[in-house]
Amino acid sequence: MNIQAFTAGFLLAGSIFSGSLVAAEPKPGAPFPPAPTGDQEKKAPPVSGHTEAAAVWGKAEDPDKDCKIEARENQLTIKVTGSAKPHDLSAEIGTMNAPRSLQEIEGDFTMRVTVDGGFAPGGDSTQAGRSGYNGAGLLLMVDDKNYIRLERATLHWKGQEPQPYINFEMREGGTPATFGSTGDTSFKPEGPTVLRVERKGDTLLASVSNDGLIFVDLEPKKLPANWPGKIKVGFAAVSTSQFDFTPVFTQLMLEKATPVPAPAVKEAK
């Protein structure tokens, strides 16, 4: 299989955007983030070398036009402004206004990114009947009713302690096919957290890491039969907090499988 590898490395002088980003070449000698693919709890070998390609973070989408999506060299920042309303990705209750940045990808791929920032939603939720929540991570989307979220997250019920965890969930036809829970995995995000997904046909693999070397595998998800080969993939920030939430995405790596062309058929003489 031929692989095209991309690493984020562009400089836009801190401009705030509302459309597609144009990537610039990374600075010479910019580090290439390691991309281990070993088994669960298995340390991957070190990676050396650099990439000469630059990645595109995707097209910014801010449905309510009240957030900021900002690109600087080697990072994407999404600021969800604190307010009395939620910024969520929950089709089952009709709230799909969280800011995100997406691009179309066709076929199999692997995407990896590091997520950092302050995850402190507080116990007063802006989403009725739900906890205070901050979550930021990878989003795979067919449309507003069919998508998968993999997020570093913290939920906070009023009167209880905040709970950092990994939220990995799927909506199918506007209803939860799987709901993320604090008990899904023993892994707890500690500071910058590396999230990784890999599409292999109708299966989505996911893993997480606190150091980019030792990864913990999550339960794979079976993609619905009606998911097309081409979907939108990128980054999102979800908040049901009254306070500002500003996650930062860095060390993006995207590997897209290149279809191998069929051999030419010789015409019979």
- Does the pLDDT value for residue 197 go beyond 60? yes
Q: Tell me which of 70 and 46 has the higher pLDDT.
A: 70
SS3 content of the chain, % helix, strand, coil (to 5): 0, 45, 55
- 56-258: CATH topology is Jelly Rolls (2.60.120)
Find the angle CA(97)-CA(99)-CA(103) to the nearest 5 degrees: 115
The backbone torsions φ and ψ at residue 195, rounded to the nearest 5 degrees and listed phi first, read: -115, 140
pLDDT value at residue 73: 72
pLDDT at 72: 79
d(CA 97, CA 94): 9
Given this model, what pLDDT does residue 48 score?
28
**Domain range summary for the chain, segments of one domain joined by +:** 56-258
- Position 74 scores a pLDDT of 87
